[in-house]
Amino acid sequence: MSQVEVFACSEFSLAISEIAPDKSISHRSAMFSLLACGTSEIRNFLRAEDTLNTLEIVKKLGAKVEDKEGVIKISSDGIQESPDILDCGNSGTGMRLFCGLLSSANGHFILTGDEYLRRRPMKRVTAPLRDIGAKLDGRNSGDLAPLSIRGASLKAFNYESKIASAQVKSAMILAALRADGVCTYKEPELSRDHTERMLKGMGADIKVDGLLTTIAPMKELLSPLNIRVPADPSSAFFFAVAAAITPNSSVVLEGVTLNETRIEAFRALERMGANITYELTSDKYEPIGDITVKYAPLKAITVEENISWLIDELPALSIAFACAKGTSIIKNAEELRVKESDRISTVVKGLLACGIQVDEYEDGYTVTGGTLNRATIDSHGDHRIAMSFIIAGLKCGMEVTDLECINTSFPNFFELLQRITEVKFN
């Protein structure tokens, strides 16, 4: 399955209950089980490459994992040294959070990843962790994987991060849980807060006051997790864009996390004119509910605030920009350059190939709405680029190559897409 041809769709109206489970929460639920006394139970765990790699690493770190009838049960007697290299695959979240978790664990650990992950910057976690005593190293003075970690005792810290990154925040919170005193972490803008919510739910002493998080070291192991992972808003968003750009169409996306730090892209689509409603159905660790998106003519917007709240959805949102009236602007999004691909470059190249007027800047780009044309788009090994341009194909037909990456986050993407349109694999 290295190439797909997608055909333009006609109007549709459907409810989807099988959106892929949330990637961020799935990673964390497996990792945090290592900090619990007793057995954690995880329902609706994302069975995609990234999160299955994390689960495999959790096993290699000595946890007992039972996977029966859709429930994953994890119990651990504390993190054990592994004789194997720990392979995070394509996942920045996996690698960066494990850096924080393993910095204080007894033993020596090697983290690696695929060719894309081995090119992504790790200094954002290795530098602050080294500053508090972690023994971490890697290529390019600790910036590039493979990374080696020798567990050490960590000093309490007051760290002020220059980037709004949940991965950096989470790595530092995990380190703080075993530091030698109370720690604080400040971020420039609130990033997704699953780590704080989940660890607090497990009994950790974590206080959040605006952008400042205060973490007391763990006195004892935490209570086990008992969680059902909600659907991933960044995966659901592909189908939200599909409905928003297809006249007379609508979609109900069921059981999605409604955490405000995750649904900003839906808010942006609303600002563009799409008709969107949210219905809360449950609230444990996270607010969860159904999101309904209905087509309406779209207009251009500027996106420049709370970028980390919609960073993962910007490629798909850019397809909506291409279908809107006027010129949309994305600013302050330089973080896009260090995702699974340089997403400023891959989105700009893709839209240009489809005949859309785009201007590229260091920290973003502008998109002038027009008529999307069928093209052949290379995903550059980036799942979100592949799926975004496949959704663009609902307008005009599209060929997208290098598709394996979709399995890192949304293995049933094509199954759901086929409810809307015809696809042909070459």
Site for ligand S3P in 329-348 (CB under 6 A): 335
Options 39-47, 199-207, 306-314, 392-400: segment touching ligand S3P (CB under 6 A): 306-314
- In the bound state with ligand S3P, the residue whose beta carbon lies nearer, of 309 and 321, is 309
- Minimum distance from CB of 84 to ligand S3P (Å)? 24
Site map (CB under 6 A) of ligand S3P, residues 362-401, x = contact: ----------------------------------------
Cα separation, 148 vs 85, in Å, equals 10
Least distance between ligand S3P and beta carbon 88 (Å)? 12
Per-residue b or e along 319-337, where b marks 16 or more CB atoms closer than 10 Å to that residue's CB: bbbbbbeebbbbeebebbe
Structure tokens at 257: 């996390």
Q: Which is nearer to ligand S3P, 5 or 334 (CB)?
A: 334
Q: Which stretch binds ligand S3P (CB under 6 A): 59-67, 161-169, 225-233, 397-405?
A: 161-169
**Residues 385, 400: Cα–Cα separation, whole Å:** 9
Residue type, 156: A
Among 311, 323, 367, 398, binds ligand S3P (CB under 6 A): 311
Give the number of C-alpha atoms closer than 13 A to the C-alpha of residue 237, restricted to the C-beta side.
31
Give residues 55-84 in contact with ligand S3P (rule: CB under 6 A).
none
E strand map for 237-301: 250-257, 275-284, 286-294
Report which DSSP code applies to 203: T
Q: For residues 134 and 155, what is the distance between their CA atoms, to the nearest angstrom?
A: 9
Residue type, 83: P
Kind plus residue range of the DSSP H or E element containing 60 = helix 49-60
- Active-site entry in 232, 312, 378, 382: 312
Q: How far apart are CA 201 and CA 198, in angstroms?
A: 5
Cα dist. 169→123, 145, 269, 384 in Å? 13, 19, 28, 23
Contacts of 291 (CB under 8 A, 6+ apart): 233, 236, 240, 252, 253, 256, 258, 263, 266, 276, 277, 278, 279
CB of 5 or CB of 335, closer to ligand S3P: 335
Q: Does 235 bind ligand S3P (CB under 6 A)?
A: no
* Binder of ligand S3P out of 4, 12, 16, 24 (CB under 6 A): 24
By beta-carbon proximity to ligand S3P, the closer residue of 24 and 40 is 24
Q: Residue 224: which of 34, 6, 80 has the closest Cα? A: 34
Q: How far apart are CA 23 and CA 21, in angstroms?
A: 6
Nearest residue to the partner ligand S3P, using Cβ: 24
CB of 89 to ligand S3P, least distance (A): 14
Question: Is 84 marked active-site?
Answer: no
Nearer to ligand S3P by Cβ, of 335 and 404: the residue is: 335
**Which of 76, 90, 93, 366 forms a contact with ligand S3P (CB under 6 A)?**
93
CB of 40 to ligand S3P, least distance (A): 18
CB nearer to ligand S3P: give 24 or 53.
Answer: 24
User: Which residues, in sequence order, are CB contacts of 140 under 8 Å at separation 6+?
Assistant: none
Q: Looking at 312, 313, 382, 399, which residue binds ligand S3P (CB under 6 A)? A: 312
Q: From 381, 297, 306, 317, select the one nearest 346 (Cα to Cα).
A: 381
How far, in Å, CA of 238 to CA of 293, rounded? Answer: 11
Please give the C-alpha separations between residue 295 and each of 78, 99, 235, 254, 314, in angstroms, as whole numbers. 51, 43, 18, 18, 19
> Which residue, 120 or 395, has its beta carbon nearer to ligand S3P?
120
- Which residue, among 314, 327, 330, 329, has the nearest Cα to 368 in the 3D structure? 327
CB of 369 to ligand S3P, least distance (A): 26
* Per-residue binding letters, 260-299, with ligand S3P (x by CB under 6 A): ----------------------------------------
Count of residues that bind ligand S3P according to CB under 6 A: 12
Residues 163-202 that bind ligand S3P (CB under 6 A): 165-167, 170, 191-192
* Shortest distance, position 231 Cβ to ligand S3P, whole Å: 15
Q: Tell me the three state secondary structure of residue 135.
A: strand
Q: Using CB under 6 A, which of the segments 34-42, 159-167, 201-209, 389-397 binds ligand S3P? A: 159-167
Comparison of 195 and 328: residue with beta carbon closer to ligand S3P? 195
Among 308, 366, 388, 407, binds ligand S3P (CB under 6 A): 308
Q: Catalytic site residues? A: 312
Which parts of this chain interact with ligand S3P (CB under 6 A)? 24, 93, 165-167, 170, 191-192, 308, 311-312, 335
